Structure 1
């Protein structure tokens, strides 16, 4: 069995970086090093006081140390990693672009007063969960050892549990909306004969290349094999890379 250090170093780069930043942000908060109000998404401070860092820092705060924080961090370590190692294997730039697109979508949605949330980290994690559930719809999920269901329904089950335990509904709902928009534009619309309008920009590829991550793109236009089964570990169908390179 590998050590925690070996497990950490084996994680794919984007999920590892995001999870690490979230853990550092919460640890620094618990140590009293900063006030979360200074990194929250406050549009008045962004536009009138030019505190543009709030557009980025709000994504890294998942709350104080708690069971909910642990669950969100586990979602990154499990479903984010499975996405990056599965459907996005050797496509780090595409995975990073998905995160960037999701973040931008959440910022736009949160500008609507009724949907505003000071921290969008939970929403971004929920977006990862939603995209994973669509890529691996038949994977079996066991919730707290009580209920077993297909991954396709997992985001809705988690949303229901959050409501039951008194957590806000809006962050989860924003994540589902952003995740579905991404999945529609990159998978459903192209499969229906539409043009891919969410191609990963060249600057993202250059950024990943400069970062030192070696990425070899998969074959363009590789067809989906409907006979290939999905495993219970959440590995999705391969061959969908054409949706980001068409």
Structure 2
């Protein structure tokens, strides 16, 4: 009896610890990672099939199966090495972006998701790509790597390189596994588009910010403290620009 009570108490403590840790994950990373895991679990349990999830422009346009615009980003294949590898990279780099350069800017992070998803879907109209989740992960990795160019990376203890080479190393790894690199190239291309429009072009002579987060997203996702944090960042950036001009 005492053993059963102790086991129950230990299980309850573990559940509480897991729940606490889970809700400490930033909201966007938590939502996307959870959706990917639940989608894969539903396929494994045969609640749904991959044929109901894959990107099919004809079914989206003619049969109004709009959900495919989302589900094609949520499925990474059946449980196995590929799924675990993708989930780890998704969680790691999505969280580092959300807690790093997008800290206090949840609406901007959601807007990056929308930008990447829309552009990839448009490319998907012309390319024979059924699932876009891996390309989306590569986009996140690309943006993170370009914003941290001095970080040294190690890939499975075999290669040492600086962060901006990481997307290309992943593409090479896909090639070694016999996979198509079209998905990786799509993720790199869209990631570079976002990075150029958000980080490079506005700082060029005559350049300006083209990617503007809609106010609706700010109202939905930015808490008052996040809005204040963003304003403080803008003020700091403005002061730095004034100092440089002087």
What TM-score, normalized by structure 2, do the two folds share?
0.84
Cα distance between partner residues in 2 of 1:155 and 1:221: 33
Q: Show CA shifts across 1:58-86 (max 9, x none).
A: 11111111111111111122111111101
Q: Say whether 1:100 aligns with 2:114.
A: yes
Unaligned runs of 5+ in 2: 1-15, 241-246
SS of the residue 2:236 aligns to: coil
| CA shift for structure 1 position 169 | 1.0
| CA shift for structure 1 position 17 | 0.6
Preserved contact between residue 97 and residue 200 of structure 1 (Cα < 8 Å): yes
Cα distance between partner residues in 2 of 1:137 and 1:21: 30
Report the equivalent of 1:197. 210
Q: Show CA shifts across 1:146-178 (max 9, x none).
A: 211111100000100001111221111111111
Report the equivalent of 1:80. 94
Preserved contact between residue 127 and residue 179 of structure 1 (Cα < 8 Å): yes
- If asked which structure has higher relative contact order (CA below 8 Å, sep 6+), I would say 1
Match of 2:45 among 31, 34, 42: 31
Preserved contact between residue 19 and residue 77 of structure 1 (Cα < 8 Å): yes
Cα distance between partner residues in 1 of 2:224 and 2:137: 22
Cα distance change, pair 220–214 in 1 and its aligned pair in 2 (3 A): closer
Q: Show CA shifts across 1:104-162 (max 9, x none).
A: 010011111xx231111111111101101101111111111121111110000010000
More helix by share: 2
Cα distance between partner residues in 1 of 2:134 and 2:52: 18
Q: Show CA shifts across 1:84-105 (max 9, x none).
A: 1011111111111001100001
Cα distance between partner residues in 2 of 1:6 and 1:136: 30
Larger CA Rg, structure 1 vs 2: 2
Q: Say whether 1:167 aligns with 2:167.
A: no
Cα distance between partner residues in 2 of 1:144 and 1:8: 27
Moved more, 199-208 or 128-137: 199-208
Cα distance between partner residues in 2 of 1:158 and 1:214: 37
Cα distance change, pair 68–21 in 1 and its aligned pair in 2 (3 A): same
SS of the residue 1:116 aligns to: coil
Cα distance between partner residues in 2 of 1:125 and 1:137: 18
RMSD value, Cα = 2.0
Unaligned runs of 5+ in 1: 225-238, 240-246
| CA shift for structure 1 position 5 | 3.7
What TM-score, normalized by structure 1, do the two folds share?
0.84
Match of 1:181 among 185, 193, 211: 193
Match of 1:208 among 209, 218, 221: 221
Report the equivalent of 1:122. 134
Cα distance between partner residues in 2 of 1:148 and 1:3: 36
